[in-house]
Amino acid sequence: HVRLLEAAASAMGGDADGAVRMLTSPAPGAVGSPSAGEQVAAGVVLTHAFHVLGRTSDAIATADATLLLLDGVVDRDLPKLLGLTNSNRSALVALRVLRATSLLREGRVVEALDAFGSIPDGGPALFQVQATGGLALALAWSGRLTEAEEAAGWALTLAAQCGLADAPATVDAHLALVDVSRERDDLARARSLLEGARNRSRAEPSNLTDTILATEEAALALAEGQPVSGLTVLATLQAHQSKDHPALPRRIEAWRRSVEARLLILSGDLDASIRALELAPVETLPVAGARVVLAIERGDLRGARAVVDGWPDRPEPRAGRERRLWRSILLDLEGEPRAASEELAALLADALAEAQEL
């Protein structure tokens, strides 16, 4: 148990790499196989360490394997590791939270929302804060801004009550509020919140976290109409990315490339924006949005219409709203202002109906 406790202390104390090395190499002088309880405890610590390092696919796979083992383990069989595994339930909460937030950080928003819904109540306060903040960010990325704002507010209130206001577990709640503020054109508040997220992330740095923060900052520069500033942020990120870390999740890389393309379009460099979109590894909602803007800037309304006709259908309601908005814009550009107004009115009516249901 000493080795497990040391690994847990490393994972929770800023040395996630050390925790991974400790738990994936043979223990000196070890005799026999670890018990099921010890395997579960090791799986929880490893999942946490992988999550901190931005190794999301490893975190998800380890969480899934450990959840299968956990079914047959009772409280007395679990080594007690710094609140992570004080009981079967605390281990279950930790694994489900880490799995959900890892899915989110892969950009798998719909799957992440389902995973957040499977997290049981209770568990350590740290994971309650992380779960609620992650849910807030998933809601924001889905376009459910009012719900995202409420969830983020609750996460930050809980964090303050538990002495976790400056913890890395609050980063996602801050990012959710960044997105809400940017979408509502409160750009000064968005920038302040982004700085708060960056400050809280420093205790658990990773290529993935740095990329998410930089892409959010570049998207904010885009909203401010400052393409040079946004492109500088992305160029600085690329120059400082460690080559020793795993490749970025495909959807996060696609998001980064889409923001880069939008900034290049705003700066007037359409050829470079084409190259940026060619590097997007998967077609996502942000990539589709950048393709429409590029096609319109090039005067290719037929190409823009083709992108809108093949629009991604998830996550909702963001996907549906953006599709209708672009339809309205294209109808107006195609000389059909009445149809454009009807499309826009339908979009506003749907948004109002959804707001009244909340």
DSSP 231-287: HHHHHHHHHH--TTSPPPPHHHHHHHHHHHHHHHHHHT-HHHHHHHHHT-SS--HHH
- CA-CA distance, 60 to 66, in Å (whole number)? 10
What's the token pair of residue 90?
A: 């605390």
Q: What is the number of alpha carbons within 13 Å of residue 317 lying toward its C-beta?
A: 17
Q: For residue 27, give the DSSP letter.
A: P
Lowest mean pLDDT among 79-88, 101-110, 318-327: 79-88
- pLDDT one-digit tens code per residue, 108-133: 999 999 999 999 988 889 999 999 99
* 3-class SS of residue 190: helix
Mean pLDDT over each residue of the chain, to the nearest integer: 93
Decide if pLDDT at 358 tops 80: no
Taking residues 238-246, report their average pLDDT. Answer: 75
Q: Contact at 8 Å (CB) between 325 and 295? A: no
pTM: 0.94
- CA-CA distance, 236 to 239, in Å (whole number)? 5
What's the token pair of residue 181?
A: 């503020």
Residue 245, pLDDT score = 67
Residue 97, pLDDT score = 98
- Of the candidates 357, 354, 317, 353, which has an alpha carbon nearest to the alpha carbon of residue 113? 317
Give 185-191 contacts, CB < 8 A, sequence gap 24+.
Answer: 185/223, 187/220, 187/223, 187/224, 190/220, 190/223, 191/220
Confidence of residue 165 (pLDDT cuts 50, 70, 90): very high
Residue 29, pLDDT score = 58
Decide if pLDDT at 296 tops 90: yes
What's the token pair of residue 200?
A: 């809280």
Residue 282, pLDDT score = 96
Interhelix angle 318-333/285-297, nearest 10 degrees: 10
Taking residues 178-188, report their average pLDDT. Answer: 97
Decide if pLDDT at 175 tops 80: yes
- pLDDT one-digit tens code per residue, 25-82: 876 656 568 889 999 999 999 999 999 999 999 999 999 999 999 988 998 989 888 7
- pLDDT one-digit tens code per residue, 203-241: 888 999 999 999 999 999 999 999 999 999 999 998 887
Residue 26, pLDDT score = 73
Confidence of residue 243 (pLDDT cuts 50, 70, 90): low
Residue 266, pLDDT score = 98
What's the token pair of residue 177?
A: 């509020």
Decide if pLDDT at 328 tops 90: yes
Residue 241, pLDDT score = 78
Residue 122, pLDDT score = 85
Write down the residue that tokens 């190409």 correspond to.
303
Residue 356, pLDDT score = 61
